[in-house]
Amino acid sequence: MEVKDLTPQIVWRNFYSLTQIPRPSGKTQRVAQFIADFARSHGAEAQIDEVGNVFIRKNATQGYEKRAVTLLQAHMDMVPQKTKESNHNFDTDPIEAYVDGEWVTARNTTLGADDGMGVAAAMAILEDDTVEHGPLEILITRDEETGMEGAFGLKPGMLKSKYLLNLDSEMEGEITIGCAGGEDVYADMQYLPMNVEPDGMLAYNVAVKHLHGGHSGIEIHKGYANANKLMARFLFAAVNMRIALLSSMHGGNMLNAIPRDCEVVVVVPQKDKQTFLELVAKCRETFNVEYRDVEGKDIEFDATPCDMPQTIVPVEIQENLINALMTCHDGVLRYIPTIPDLVETSCNLSIVDIDNGKAKVTLLARSSQDSMKQYLCNGLLACFSMAGMHVSLEGAYSGWQPNPASRLVDIMVEAYERLFGNRPVVGACHAGLECGIIGAKYPEMDMASFGPTQLAIHTPDERVNIQTVQKFYSFIIEILKNIPEE
């Protein structure tokens, strides 16, 4: 069966349309125009604001005019991740989505159900004249995945809604009412490369690849290997054994994705070739002992002869950089003391680029506690400053604090029990959702987040469960029908 023919067809057809429009973060102009044109074609008002968000208004259905205004909110961009074998160009190529048993997934790339499924559901509500609802606002933001720029750029006073339904959660049967805050950490420096003396030297490309990866918020507690950290461990050993000199390092490509791949080019004295290759084999063995069970497969860690580079990183700078990568925190720092199953504070060593006289390291710090987030960021600042790097902290946002008196959550729980006969789980998550940013601009707005079941978010294994999409859409319809009057 084709993706666009699945049930409910009105949602899947719109999702399929989104897969045909390239929309990686930072390249959302085309999909924004598509969504705005779609809304207008179905009789709604639509505009693209100055930061690139799509804002839509739809009138109430007959008899529901006095209901409170409700906002459906999702983001249009997707995380562009692919396998090493894939030639997919996220700037030009459509996503090849297909049905795989009970799931929809994509061929060798991320699927974009995060948050294409939320956008498709909002489009379906615009299109579906059988849905009973009060006055609706729909906000589709840009670049949520790379700093929530659309939410940050939202102007106060634009929205009139009393209730916000965020369509960007990843587990059907759960209602999210709180999330972690975050802050981006950037460390960079310039250095004068040293020329390589090639006599008696060999060059190798060392690569760790095809790790599980994953969402650096909702999957950070699973203990998946970070490719940048594994490579730092190898380099630390090789440099301290005096059997390798670093020329370049490239690992990770997205701020909020656990890095799946990392490659370095090193120069090795010919006399130390055997010792070097034995170290590679030892690291491969060690990493597999540590991570095979959690990764679910053997870790690929190999050294391949390559062309001799022209330059290397000066020895002192090389050691400082590697020491910093070894020392900086990665993974869970603390669980919430009163909710020991929920991560409070974590860090993702997201991207490392060292080459040609420039070094840049990018990390994402998350915490539901502002003071702990500051503690973590200060630790990263101290770590990379000691390596001689300039460190900047950007894009800070506070967590979304749960509202225990939420009328919206009561409505949603009652609606879910009527539809499905059981009570949904209500709680918080460690991911960053736009609700916290929007809530800071509209503090009186009552909000909650939910969605269909999605797995392996931010990886080429991303998939969405078909059956839960039907429940997700039915749930939206039931909530809208039961929004109270002002």
Give the rounded distance of the alpha carbon of 474 from its chain centre: 26
Cβ atoms of 279 and 270 closer than 8 Å: no
Cβ atoms of 204 and 417 closer than 8 Å: no
Q: Please name which of 145, 147, 126, 143 lies closest in space to residue 36, comparing C-alpha atoms.
A: 126
* Residues 6 or more apart whose Cβ sits within 8 Å of residue 91: 22, 24, 27
Catalytic annotation present for 102:
no
Strands 201-209 and 262-269 come out as: antiparallel
Q: Which of 114, 144, 330, 355 is catalytic?
A: 144
Q: Which of 77, 184, 446, 462 is catalytic?
A: 77
Sign of CA dihedral 440, 441, 442, 448: negative
Cβ atoms of 218 and 451 closer than 8 Å: no
Q: 425-446: buried (b, 16+ CB within 10 Å) or exposed (e) per residue?
A: ebebbbbbbbbbbbbeebeebb
Catalytic annotation present for 77:
yes
Q: d(Cα 460, Cα 457) in Å, to the nearest integer?
A: 8
Q: d(Cα 114, Cα 478) in Å, to the nearest integer?
A: 23
Q: Please name which of 182, 145, 218 lies closest in space to residue 377, comparing C-alpha atoms.
A: 182
Q: Phi first, then psi: give them for residue 434, nearest 5 degrees.
A: -70, -10
* Residues 6 or more apart whose Cβ sits within 8 Å of residue 62: none
Q: Which residues are catalytic?
A: 77, 144
